[in-house]
Each structure stands twice: as structure tokens, then as C-alpha cells.
């Protein structure tokens, strides 16, 4: 309870609160995380599915995996953690939500100030030209570009790829301005997102971490709340 009260104080005094979320925030919506005992990378090899080389080698296999995930996520709903962050944006507390998640659940929960640093599973882009489109339902087979007939790919960021520069420009502005960053449900293992909270800290800000486990970030966090995001965030909201 002491940690909860300290976290409430931190939030109540925040001048520019931002959040960084990872797969753990969607776990209670039944979206699988990547790491850990039930994580996707226990069952699937990241290098066979989430690199540009893998897509070049076997677009069919990569698309099968993404179609399966789109079908799974289409059945999921935002949980109380997503809803709490949306509420905090609408009541003016949360300025920007940086997410590594590609599932689109933050938007479905009502958040609008979202920076999706690893892209979105529901957007496609051409492997050759600048064509992009939004999906309203899961893909079937390998979709082709209507402009140049090349393979379309999911507009997500794979290992070895740079994060979208226009979004990163906004992320860095936020990291310079923020005095508090709430970090929810990320293993803090994947760069560069894992370093975002440390940039806030270097600029004199504070880190509030919410996770069921400790992470490499925990020793730098000013407050670590252990628990499920879908329980901890609504509990915090009640105390505000």
C-alpha cells in the first residue's frame, strides 16, 4: 500500500505524464506476450518470422503467422488497463502513450495520443513502393500491391529494422518533456524502446514501473508496482 500511495503522489504531481506499454498490458485481453513461459518466442523462432530476411525467404510462412495473430486479436477486447490509460488521457493526466504493441487495443480502448513505435498489425505496406493500406479484417494468403503487384507486408517493425523516423521524432520530444513515465508490461529487453524510460530519468524525470515481474529496468525505477496491469492501473486510478 505504501508503494501505491507513493505512486499516487507521483501521478498527482505530474506535469507531463507519458506512458510506455508492452505486450504485458494486453495479456489480460488474451493476446500472447513474446517472452516468458507462454510467450510466442517459446513456440516460434523470431528469426524465422520477425525479420526482413525471413519475409524475403518465405513470405507465405510469415503471412500465415500474421494472419493467425490477426484472427486471434480480432476476438480480443481492451482490458481495464487499456481503459484506464484512455481515461487518463481524456481527463488530461496522460499526455502521450508510446506503445510497442501492434494489436491496436489502445485505440479501441479510446486512446488517441498514441505513438506506435513497432507499427500496427492492421496496416499493410508494399515491399517495393510507397503503397500503404488499412485492413478491416484478417488477410488471406499473400496480399499483393495494387500499384506494382509486389508482395505487401505487415507494417510492423522487425528485428534489424529502424523504427519509423517520423514517430521517433515525436517520441524523443516526449522523452525530453516528460517528468514521469509509467512503464507497463514490457520486459525492457528490446532496444531502442527499452531505453526510453532511461532517457526520461537522465533528463531528471521519474519512472513508475508496473509489471508482474522485475525487469532490467526495475533497478532504475523510482517505484515498481508488482501486479497485473489490469488490476494495478484501475486500483491506482481509484486512489487519484
d(C-alpha 38, C-alpha 216), whole Å? 20
- How far is the CA of 177 from the CAs of 20, 64, 65, 223, in angstroms? 14, 41, 38, 20
Give the binding range for ligand BJW (CB under 6 A) out of 6-14, 26-34, 105-113, 173-181. Answer: 26-34
Q: Is 199 in the site for ligand BJW (CB under 6 A)?
A: no
For residue 55, the minimal CB distance to Zn ion (Å) is: 15
Nearest alpha-carbon partner for 184 in 153, 235, 236, 228: 228
For residue 164, the 8-state DSSP code is P
The residues in 33-62 that bind ligand BJW, with binding defined as CB under 6 A, are 33-36, 39, 50
Q: Is 205 in the site for ligand BJW (CB under 6 A)?
A: no
The residues in 95-154 that bind ligand BJW, with binding defined as CB under 6 A, are 100, 102, 118
Among 5, 159, 195, 226, binds ligand BJW (CB under 6 A): 159
Residue with nearest beta carbon to ligand BJW: 24
Looking at beta carbons only, is 50 or 126 nearer to Zn ion?
A: 126
What three-state secondary structure class fits 43?
helix
Nearest alpha-carbon partner for 15 in 211, 224, 228, 203: 203
Give the binding range for Zn ion (CB under 5 A) out of 41-49, 93-101, 150-158, 203-211. Answer: 150-158
**What does R_g of the chain's alpha carbons equal in angstroms?**
18
For residue 7, the 8-state DSSP code is H
Looking at beta carbons only, is 9 or 38 nearer to ligand BJW?
A: 38
Looking at beta carbons only, is 147 or 213 nearer to Zn ion?
A: 147
Name the binder of 147 from ligand BJW, Zn ion, none, CB < 5-8 A by kind: Zn ion
> Does 16 participate in catalysis according to the annotation?
no
For residue 150, the minimal CB distance to Zn ion (Å) is: 5
d(C-alpha 5, C-alpha 223), whole Å? 10
Active-site option among 16, 56, 90, 118: 118
Q: Which residues of 141-170 are buried (b: 16+ CB within 10 A; e: fewer)?
A: eebebeeeeebbbbbbbbeeeebbeebeee
Catalytic machinery residues:
118
Contact residues for ligand BJW, defined by CB under 6 A: 22-24, 27-28, 33-36, 39, 50, 100, 102, 118, 156-162, 185-187, 189-192, 211-213, 215, 228-229
Amino acid at each position: 500500500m505504501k508503494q501505491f500511495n507513493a505512486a499516487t503522489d507521483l501521478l498527482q504531481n505530474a506535469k507531463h505524464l507519458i506512458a510506455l506499454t508492452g505486450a504485458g498490458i494486453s495479456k489480460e485481453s488474451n493476446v500472447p506476450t513474446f517472452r516468458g513461459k507462454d510467450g510466442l518466442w517459446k513456440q516460434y523462432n523470431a528469426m524465422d518470422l520477425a525479420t526482413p530476411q525471413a519475409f524475403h525467404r518465405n513470405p507465405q510462412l510469415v503471412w500465415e503467422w500474421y494472419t493467425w495473430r490477426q484472427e486471434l486479436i480480432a476476438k480480443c477486447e481492451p482490458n481495464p488497463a487499456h481503459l484506464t490509460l484512455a481515461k487518463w488521457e481524456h481527463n488530461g493526466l496522460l499526455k502521450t502513450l508510446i506503445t510497442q504493441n501492434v494489436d491496436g487495443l489502445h485505440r479501441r480502448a479510446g486512446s488517441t495520443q498514441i505513438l506506435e513505435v513497432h507499427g500496427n498489425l492492421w496496416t499493410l505496406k508494399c515491399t517495393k513502393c510507397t503503397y500503404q493500406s488499412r485492413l478491416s479484417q484478417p488477410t488471406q494468403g499473400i496480399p499483393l500491391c495494387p500499384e506494382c503487384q509486389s508482395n505487401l507486408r505487415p507494417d510492423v517493425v522487425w528485428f534489424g529494422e529502424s523504427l519509423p523516423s517520423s514517430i521517433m521524432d515525436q517520441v524523443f520530444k516526449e522523452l525530453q518533456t516528460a517528468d514521469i513515465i509509467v512503464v507497463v508490461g514490457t520486459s525492457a529487453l528490446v532496444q531502442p524502446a527499452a531505453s526510453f524510460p532511461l532517457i526520461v530519468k537522465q533528463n531528471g524525470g521519474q519512472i513508475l514501473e508496473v509489471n508482474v515481474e522485475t525487469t532490467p529496468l526495475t533497478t532504475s525505477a523510482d517505484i515498481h508496482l508488482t501486479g497485473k496491469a489490469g488490476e494495478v492501473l484501475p486500483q491506482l486510478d481509484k486512489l487519484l
